[in-house]
Structure 1
Amino acid sequence: MEMMASDDDTRDILRPLVFRLHENVPALVREVLLERGWTEFDKKEQDDADWNLYWRNSPFCMTDHRGVKPWQRLNHYPEAIRITRKDFLARHLKRMKGAFGSTLYEFSPVAFIMPKDYVKFVAEYSKERQSGGRSGCYWICKPVDLSRGRGILIFQDIKDLVYDCTVIVQKYISNPLLISGYKLDLRLYVCVTSFCPLTIYTYEEGLVRFATEKFDLESLDNVYAHLTNTSINKYGASYKKYKEGIGCGSKWTFSKFRSYLRIFDVDDVVLWQKINNIVILTLLALTPLPVASNCFELFGFDILIDDKFKPWLLEVNYNPALCLDCSIDDTVKRKLLHDVVELLNYKQIDTLRHNQVAGIKAGRRQVLWSTAGERATKETSSLLNCQKVAKRSSASSAQPALRKVAALTKKTTRAHPRKTLTSQLREKMNTPKISVKAEAENKQPLGIGHSSRESARLCHQLPTPDAFNYKLIPCPYFISDKDQRPIPRVGDFVLIFPFNEAALKASKDGTNIKNIIKEISKLVSKQLPS
């Protein structure tokens, strides 16, 4: 139970953290927060600011971001939706490719936004036909603002291209990796806790999504053979049937997929290095964004792997589906949400909402928001001032209550010996620091179920944040209290950026993309086989 602190009026009662949900938020979000001992916000009974987490499917207004309090978190970052529309993503990646070359930005199929790029598409289409003959390129057409596989068309002859809205046309990857003849893609969960400094976590567990009929280029109109969306395949005749090599349904976990790859001696470490590079390079295309306090973004990256084990970015999802279609969904998504809350790093002071509200009403707090051109130090300075004000305003009155809370917490711990993920994380941060070498030997930074030998190999190949002496400015919530640097691992979330001190320095002062690209190029060159 995450019930930590006392109320101004009722000092002998522990107050839980409070969540606030907008309409249409998946039921699993509420279930997980209730499992953790949170309570739901009641606007009739509570003050407007008396909540800790506000979760919604749509973007927040800028007034919400400007008014966020130190104890609050919002689940969307301002303007993060810019890379989740297919046409916006294509434009951003094209811009980055033009600015920094195609060597790094070759992970997305060539794309045309229709009808604007129709002439360019016809030229490319004719070029491909001349070089490849009638059996040349295949193309895929997707509405720019629809999800769940709606409105998708796969074609080879331009005469079959029909659309009545803005669409994106891309080269169709006609040589996907197949397992027992079935096409698959990966749903990778990515959490960005800050865009300045850029701080990116990827989730080690995720979903492998299968088509439910065998891949066949002779039947391009068979959605069950070419699309992996569960929202489509769950209505197919083969969905509930046992499929050789795949099983029933249409999903695996990343753990099972990694085990499968190792059976065939595929180096999944290299594959995940390439995928992490795609994530970082894609999110760099989104910068700069307005600098905002105490918010985060959970993205769903859809990655396709071809038969040469090259990963391709298909799209980025703004609200990755959190519904439960099968038991694998429950296994992955429930733990994912628990770890998201752990990543938000709530502290005991965050439960002292009323004391801090009083300080704000007295006019003792600055707005924690700035435009993209302003330095992050101004934002964090305001936050620290606010926290000092809150501590001063509540210190004299809250000390007896906090002693009572400590006693009650001790009793509660005896009654409920199972520790929360938050308490485990705090214990980890407060343990004596061990050497980098010893930590690397004991750590599993990537891949669930790796042996100790494999873990050592991973630590050797992938630079981890622990291997560098970070000097971070104080930030709202995503750094540890002990050493003021990004927490390298929380649950199954692993920090992939910043991956060294140079990348950190380049990301925190207005985001120097050019310098970050240089560091990524160095990293990629080290990852290439000798």
Structure 2
Amino acid sequence: MYHICVKKPVLSYRPLFQNFLQKLRKFIDCGESDSEPEANADELDNASEHSLEESNRESSEVSSSFSPQETGSGDSVAWPIRPSLFPNIPPYIHFNTHDSEVEFKVPGKRHFKWKLSTITPVIVRKTLTNSGFVLVRSEFTRESNQWLGTWGKHMKSPMFKTLKDSQKLNHFPGTFQLGRKDRLWRNFQKMIAKFGYKEFGFLPLTYILPQELRLLKQSWEFRSGCGEMWIIKPPASARGVGIKVINKWSQLPKKTSLVVQKYISNPYLINGSKFDLRLYVLVTSFDPLRIYLYPDGLARFASAKYSDDVKDLKDRYMHLTNYSINKLSSQYTANEDANACQGHKWTLSKLMEYLETAGVDTKALWKNLQSLVVKTMIACEAPIVQLCEENMCNRYNCYELFGVDVLLDENLKPWLLEVNISPSLHSASPLDAHVKGPMVQTLFDMAQFHLPQRLAMQCRNCPPCYEPKLYSTNLTKRERSKHGVYAQMENREDYLEGVLKDLTGDDVRQLVRAEDEFVVKGRFEKIFPTSQSHKYLNFMERRYYNRLFDAWETKYENKREEGIALLQSLCAKKVHLKVASPSTFSKSSQSTNHSEGNIQPSTEGQSYPLEEILQQTRITNGVPN
């Protein structure tokens, strides 16, 4: 059974409250400082739906209706927004660049609050302040929960239920299934057992200790004459903490929680040094799955020349490529030029140029990297979708940037090393800022923040604000029926045309979000779904939304204007605003999306017993049982 999030009903205006607002507006102007009096936050939230309907004009009017205003200091202020491609959709907040010399001056700046965390990167802070946001530590403010977004650590899945409808967090529930090294391997283990090494054999053979100590011992003895090396890692560490390479059983801690992984001892070398790739991957939705890959990640080099001699196993500067480790080496050379192939950190685009001059087929390599990323997300998406269904109250709250680390062997086969769910956005060097600055600005635009509802209550002539109907998970009876029919179809040909006929309000909402997202993707490349990505659906549970997007991309990928025109006509008729009542038992993810049996609610990842998974699938000496 899934948890259904039921929000408090919106209260009607009370005469006293109306009178209070009339008096309040005489003193409040949206350009004034935060020290001005404010209405009670809860009352404003309750009253905002009425105001929203009054202000919800067509987004095509936004750019002409909201012109810059003059403040008392003579500065020009304007709403930092971009219109939707579609009518009757409120505009989205447009973000400035981190290095802009002109800071956005926002009329309703006191409502542009961003909650700081202990890990909010400097480049994120600069992007936000340049975009007109006020950075707050919510525990010290009068309005402790009136922020629009935050960039922080992953939190326990049930905590996502505490997010307000119009707040965004840079994580999805359950992505520890990707970020924890033990969970990542368990998910891959299942995919290997089901689809074979040919499809999912790009994560090195792994054992989880202490549960699989006996299995590791058997494998170790079987391979003992080969002189193989193993790399040991804590299951939830980052930045190289606790990692070392070993080749003797006596070097292995036996009672500690560890991930023991076959070491890739034949890496591709440049100038005699080992390197890895940091790929930046943005997921804006897990159901439907939408994945974007940024083309300009990082190539991070070990600071010592590589050797596979056992006497060099303890040299961390040789075997590990983490920047946090190698920056401490006396041999480390920084690269301040984003356009140069020098030092121990290059941009990914420059690495590809270097490889191309060396005769490498970089187009084929990039396709292999794209495939690795898609399959990695698919390997873990089933448990993540389940936790999203249980803990997300709407489709607005979440997006996530992942750091996917990849090693190339001497044959240029990509090997997945790990997935970071809070990748470092450290940007002290010009090279880092060159890569991460534009990426951060673009991903915030793609996350599609709306103006908060309470803004309409306090600001004159404000644009349309957040509309909860657009992000509802509730389905009408007709929509549930359509989901059930098309999710159960066996063959792709059966749903490819029919699913796009007579689009429902829920269909339109899904497609509109994706198109508004796609138009501002900048340098991000959409790698799933595309017109060619349907082959990956064979590795996934049959889900209605993935089939809807498969059909949409197949038909409209090369003629997007035609698809957009269709959605514009439906939005003009307000088809997308026809939403099932929250009181109806109609959560969109209810069993209509799943093709195999009844999936039971999951348990939070770090407490879920690994023994239960061990009983499901085993891999001994590299062969699935």
Could you state the TM-score of these two structures normalised by the residue count of structure 2? 0.57
For residue 331 of structure 2, give the secondary structure of its aligned residue in structure 1. Answer: coil
CA contact (8 A) 1:488 1:494 kept: no
Displacement of 1:45 after TM fit?
Answer: 6.2
Offset at 1:32? 1.4
- CA gap of 1:21–1:230, structure 2 versus 1, over 3 A, is same
**Given the superposition, is the C-alpha separation of residues 502 and 230 from structure 1 closer, same or farther in structure 2, using an over 3 Å criterion?**
closer
Distance apart, 1:511 and its partner CA? 4.9
Superposition CA RMSD, Å? 4.0
Q: Tell me the secondary structure at the aligned position of residue 287 of structure 1.
A: helix
Q: Partner of 2:356: helix, strand, or coil? A: helix
Question: Pick from 363, 370, 374: which aligns with 1:269?
Answer: 363
Measure how far apart 1:164 and its partner are. Answer: 5.3
User: Do the aligned residues in 2 keep the contact of 1:197 with 1:504 (CA within 8 Å)?
Assistant: no
- Partner Cα distance (2:235, 2:472) in 1: 31
Cα distance in 1 for partners of 2:536, 2:192 equals 23
Shift of 1:324: 2.6
| Residue of structure 2 in register with 1:20 after alignment | 115
Q: Distance in 1 between matches of 2:516 and 2:313?
A: 50
SS of 2:292's equivalent in the other structure is: strand
Separation in structure 2 between the aligned mates of residue 92 and residue 147 of structure 1, nearest angstrom: 20
**1:278 is matched with which residue?**
372
Write out per-residue CA displacement over residues 78-125 of structure 1, whole angstroms, 9 at most, x where no aligned residue: 111222111111111101111222221011111011121111112212
CA distance in 2, matches of 1:357, 1:95: 53
Q: Which amino acid aligns with 2:240?
A: G
CA distance in 2, matches of 1:512, 1:13: 41
Question: Residues 374 and 160 (structure 1 numbering): CA distance in 2 closer, same or farther, change over 3 Å?
Answer: farther
> How many positions carry a matched residue from both structures?
404
Matches within 5 A, 1:56-95: 56-59=152-155, 62-65=158-161, 67-69=163-165, 71-95=166-190
Structure-1 separation of matches of 2:115 and 2:292:
24
Q: 1:220 aligns with which of 307, 313, 325?
A: 313
Q: Please report how far the alpha carbon of residue 35 of structure 1 lies from its aligned counterpart in structure 2 after TM superposition.
A: 2.0
CA gap of 1:163–1:367, structure 2 versus 1, over 3 A, is farther
1:234-263 Cα shifts (integer Å, max 9, x gaps): 110101389xxx976421001110110110
| 1:233 aligned partner | 326
Correspondences of 1:253-332 after superposition (within 5 Å): 253-288=347-382, 289=385, 290-291=388-389, 292=392, 293-294=395-396, 295-332=398-435
| Equivalent residue letter for 2:154 | S
Ranges in structure 2 where 5+ consecutive residues have no aligned partner:
1-76, 82-89, 91-104, 460-466, 481-499, 551-625
Letter in 1 for 2:421: Y
| Partner Cα separation in structure 2 for residue 322 and residue 30 of structure 1 | 11
**Structure 1 residues 77, 13: CA separation in 2 closer, same or farther (over 3 Å shift)?**
closer
Query: Does residue 188 of structure 1 match 2:279?
Result: yes
1 CA distance for matches of 2:341 and 2:106?
A: 51
* Greater Rg over alpha carbons, structure: 2
Cα distance change of structure 1 residues 92 and 356 upon mapping to structure 2, 3 Å threshold: farther
How far the C-alpha of 1:129 sits from its partner, in A, is 2.7
Question: Deviation at 1:230?
Answer: 0.7
Tell me the alpha carbon deviations over residues 277-318 of structure 1, each in whole angstroms, 9 at most, x when there is no partner: 111111112223223322101111000011101000000001
How far does residue 327 in structure 1 lie from its aligned partner after superposition? 2.3
Following superposition, the deviation at residue 512 of structure 1 comes to 4.1
Provide closer, same or farther for how the CA distance between residues 206 and 478 of structure 1 changes in structure 2, counting only shifts above 3 A.
farther
- Measured in 2, the distance between the counterparts of 1:338 and 1:258 equals 24
Percent identity between matched residues is 30
Q: Is 1:100 matched with 2:195?
A: yes
Q: 2:522 — aligned with what?
A: 491
* Separation (CA, whole Å) in 2 of partners of 1:24 and 1:369: 31
Map 1:32-431; keep pairs closer than 5 Å: 32-41=127-136, 43=138, 47=143, 50-59=146-155, 62-65=158-161, 67-69=163-165, 71-130=166-225, 132=226, 136-162=227-253, 165-218=256-309, 219-240=312-333, 249-288=343-382, 289=385, 290-291=388-389, 292=392, 293-294=395-396, 295-347=398-450, 350-355=451-456
Q: Distance in 1 between matches of 2:532 and 2:352?
A: 30
| Alpha-carbon contact 2:292-2:527 (below 8 Å) kept | yes
Return the letter of the residue paired with 2:153: N
Whole-Å separation in 2 of the counterparts to 1:63 and 1:74: 11
**In 2 relative to 1, CA 249–505 (structure 1 residues): closer, same or farther, beyond 3 Å?**
closer
Corresponding residue for 1:396? none
Alignment-mate amino acid for residue 500 of structure 1: S
Going from structure 1 to structure 2, the CA distance change for 1:197 and 1:486 (only over 3 Å counts) comes to farther
What is aligned with 2:585? none
In structure 2, the CA distance between the partners of 1:302 and 1:2, relative to structure 1 (3 Å rule), is farther
- 1:425-465 Cα offsets, whole Å, 9 max, x none, are xxxxxxxxxxxxxxxxxxxxxxxxxxxxxxxxxxxxxxxxx
CA contact (8 A) 2:119 2:153 kept: yes
Q: Which moved more, 1:31-40 or 1:305-314?
A: 31-40
Q: In terms of mean alpha carbon deviation, does 217-226 or 484-493 score higher?
A: 484-493
| Partner-residue secondary structure (3-state), 1:231 | helix
From the superposition, tell whether residues 252 and 211 of structure 1 become closer, same or farther in structure 2 (CA, over 3 Å).
Answer: same
Q: What is the TM-score with the length of structure 1 in the denominator?
A: 0.67
SS at match of 1:281: helix
- Counterpart-to-counterpart distance in 2, 1:48 and 1:241: 42
Contact 1:196 1:511 in 2 (8 A): no
The alpha-carbon distance between structure 1 residues 512 and 45, as it changes in their structure 2 partners (threshold 3 A), is closer
The code of the aligned residue for 1:354 comes to L
Query: What's the secondary structure of 1:104's corresponding residue?
Result: helix
- The answer (yes or no) to whether the contact 2:116–2:137 under 8 Å persists in 1 is no
Is the 8 Å Cα contact of residues 3 and 38 (structure 1) preserved in structure 2? no
Distance in 1 separating the partners of 2:188 and 2:504: 29
Report what 1:3 is aligned to: 79
CA distance in 1, matches of 2:288, 2:371: 17
Give the match for residue 13 of structure 2.
none
Compute the displacement of 1:178 (Å): 0.5
